[in-house]
Chains A and B, each alone.
Chain A
Amino acid sequence: MSNNTSDKMKRSDEPIWWGLFSAGGVCFAVFVPAAILFIALLIPAGIISTGAVSFERAQSMVFSLPGLIFIGVVICLPLFHAAHRIRHGLHDLKLGKERQNKIVTYGCAALISALALVGFVIGAL
């Protein structure tokens, strides 16, 4: 017997978005606070000397394997988490159309992630 019914049923893509949302949520909770604290607060406020992020040092930190991991856990995954929350927030505020919101939010997350990865590749080469 063929499984005709399951062939006709459209597969939901929600597990993908939900998985990216969860993974991004873990990163947002565990890795992002430290990243903001050091990069955006302690160094700009002068509490940690800017020598910690001199041009050469920043280059060697970012364009390396740890830098790639950093881009993944602090830029790409949290972006998909943000896209999911913005998509549902728009729905809650009754703004836009569901399908269109989905394409724009996840599309932006994918585009910005791709930009970050392209930047990494240019710098690492």
Chain B
Amino acid sequence: MAKPTSYFPELKRDWWLKHSYFKKYMAREATVLPLVFFVACLLAGLYSLLQGMESWQGWLQFMQHPMVIALNALAFIASLFHAWTFFQLFPRVMPLRVAGRTLPPNLMVLGQWLGVVAVMVLATWIFLRGL
């Protein structure tokens, strides 16, 4: 039987290594890997909180392990990289019009970064109040 032919050339597994744009795309896809690690840490923390004081202290110590801090630092950078790419999408997907004029995309990106800062300020208040 003749080999079936296709108009679409077969992609190799390393296709994305051939161009910096595709590498950036795959880097963005990979930002979720350290995120999953951080979420797993949180879930462990939640269950250690259910098991009592000693277990909770153990979790706090686990979070201080240099390897865990390093992976979470990577997760922090990945979340900011994701934010940087994600915020640029919003003005394209949903352009906002105010008083008949489209808001400049840069202003919308800035607004979203202000949101990130606002959440940081809120977190500072949550963790530091009454200390």
Query: Chain A: residues with CB nearer than 8 A to chain B?
Result: 25-26, 28-41, 43-45, 48-53, 55, 58-59, 61-62, 71, 74-75, 78-79, 81-82, 85-86, 88-89, 92-94, 112, 115-116, 119-120, 122-123
A residues near B64, Cβ cutoff 8 Å:
44-45
A residues near B57, Cβ cutoff 8 Å:
55
Q: Taking the complex as formed, is B96 at the interface, i.e. its CB lies under 8 A from any CB of chain A?
A: no
In-complex Cβ contact of B86 among A29, A112, A115, A122 (8 A)? A29
Known contacts A40-B76, A53-B60; decide if A88 and B29 are in contact (CB<8 Å): yes
Could you tell me if A30 and B115 are in contact, using CB atoms closer than 8 angstroms? yes
Determine the distance from Cα of A36 to Cα of B34 in the docked complex, in whole angstroms: 11
Question: Residues 44-66 of chain B: 1 if any A CB is under 8 Å from the residue's CB, otherwise 0?
Answer: 01110110010011001001100
- List 24 interface pairs A-B (beta carbons < 8 Å), by A numbering: A29-B83, A29-B86, A33-B76, A36-B38, A36-B76, A40-B68, A40-B69, A40-B72, A40-B76, A41-B69, A41-B76, A43-B60, A44-B60, A44-B72, A48-B127, A52-B131, A53-B60, A62-B46, A62-B49, A71-B46, A78-B39, A88-B29, A119-B50, A122-B50
Determine the distance from Cα of A26 to Cα of B86 in the docked complex, in whole angstroms: 8
B residues near A71, Cβ cutoff 8 Å:
46
Determine the distance from Cα of A122 to Cα of B72 in the docked complex, in whole angstroms: 27
A residues near B13, Cβ cutoff 8 Å:
93-94
Which of B11, B79, B120, B126 has most chain A Cβ within 10 Å?
A: B79
Determine the distance from Cα of A78 to Cα of B73 in the docked complex, in whole angstroms: 17
B residues near A53, Cβ cutoff 8 Å:
60, 127
Additional 20 contacts, C-beta under 8 A, given A62-B46, A123-B50: A28-B86, A29-B112, A30-B112, A33-B120, A34-B119, A37-B76, A37-B120, A38-B124, A40-B72, A40-B76, A41-B72, A48-B127, A55-B53, A82-B32, A82-B35, A86-B32, A92-B16, A112-B39, A115-B43, A116-B46
B67 to chain A, nearest CB (A): 12
Could you tell me if A44 and B29 are in contact, using CB atoms closer than 8 angstroms? no
- CB closest residue in chain A, given B29: A89
Q: Taking the complex as formed, is B122 at the interface, i.e. its CB lies under 8 A from any CB of chain A?
A: yes
B residues near A28, Cβ cutoff 8 Å:
32, 35, 79, 82-83, 86
- CB closest residue in chain A, given B30: A89
In-complex Cβ contact of A33 among B16, B26, B49, B116 (8 A)? B116
